[in-house]
Amino acid sequence: MASVDEAMLRAIALAARGLGTTSPNPVVGCVILDASGAVVGEGFHAYAGGPHAEIVALAQAGDRARGGTAVVTLEPCDHIGRTGPCTHALVRAGVARVVVAVADPNPVAGGGAQTLRQAGVEVEFGVRGAEAEAGNVAWLTSVRRGSPYVIWKYAATLDGRSAAADGTSMWITSEAARMDVHALRGTADAVVVGVGTVLADDPRLTARNLRDGTLAIRQPLRVVVDSAGRTPAEARVRDGAAPTWIATAADVGAGPQGRVDLRALLAALYRRGVRAALLEGGPTLAGAFLAAGLIDKIIGYVAPKLLGAGPPALADAGVHTIAEVIDLEYAEITQVGPDLKFTAYPRKREEG
């Protein structure tokens, strides 16, 4: 037997298996308990267009779902998209109770609780809501505001340098840290860099296994913020290994100094189905995003090395006096190989 609380923890763990493959849909996990409280079905949303978590779990449960409880990380959908409404499937299965962690903010798919209640199904909200919210934070945040959730990732020496004085930067961090970055890319819908990074490093920006070079099955959209269209035709981001968008000011719209308008860029990415964007460089673009208040989360890899000179990991972020400092709140600090990895959140975020 499992309590509803235990079942929700399991549903949250199941939902995490869909990170990186469900966008523009959310990650969702579901556990079905029969009338006696035994687990009889479980599932998660694996990929966009595929069966939703509830459908997978109900198929596994079969007739044992009748009179039971569905424990779901997100409010069951109530619309017909590429799949049918999960609310109708739950009612047909005879589920007596649905326990939901987080309400669905999507005006198109939301409203499932009302439909279920009208059909005589008991609905309860809020069980393990904070944990479920954290596991689905990129999708929830992006849908609530209509703009992608932006994670800034950077690597630096202990004294904050992203490269040596001669411009060389391979490799500041360890292979373990770089492998961790590739796993992080695999959870994002887009990887964003500035044209300066492309010209200096000619990165591939793909998610791959560093041991053998094989590409991950799903690749994020490669986005080069290139106001004047300077990305060379032979640049590796144009190699066809992953979808690529060279975002110019002419395409997106111009902001200050004729550069790509970053808010318009994010709006365009959202329309393309991007819910989580990984900002990887370089210091000028990162500073512009921070100055505009467009960073939601920061992941830094700090190597136990000193350079003493060379470009910093972050350029002008609009801070001109100590009173304007961008305060961060640490969420996690771990060691990856010899490097330190930290996750932090800007405490004061300017909303557009």
75 belongs to the catalytic site: no
Q: 254 among the known binding-site residues?
A: no
Q: 52 among the known binding-site residues?
A: yes
Q: 30 among the known binding-site residues?
A: no
- C-alpha to C-alpha distance for 282 and 260, rounded to whole angstroms: 15
Q: 139 among the known binding-site residues?
A: no
Q: 134 among the known binding-site residues?
A: no
Q: Which of 6, 42, 54, 133 is catalytic?
A: 54
Q: 51 among the known binding-site residues?
A: no
Q: 284 among the known binding-site residues?
A: yes
Q: 135 among the known binding-site residues?
A: no
Q: 208 among the known binding-site residues?
A: yes
Q: 185 among the known binding-site residues?
A: yes
Identify any residues that bridge with 151 across adjacent strands, giving them in sequence order.
278, 297
- C-alpha to C-alpha distance for 248 and 350, rounded to whole angstroms: 24
Q: 161 among the known binding-site residues?
A: no
Identify any residues that bridge with 156 across adjacent strands, giving them in sequence order.
302
Cite the annotated binding site for Zn(2+) by residue number. Answer: 52, 77, 86
Q: Which residues are annotated as a binding site for NADP(+)?
A: 155, 169, 171, 197, 201, 227, 282-288
**Residue stretches of the annotated binding site:** 52, 77, 86, 155, 169, 171, 185, 197, 201, 205, 208, 227, 280, 282-288
Annotation: binding site for substrate: 185, 205, 208, 280
Please give the positions annotated as active site. Answer: 54
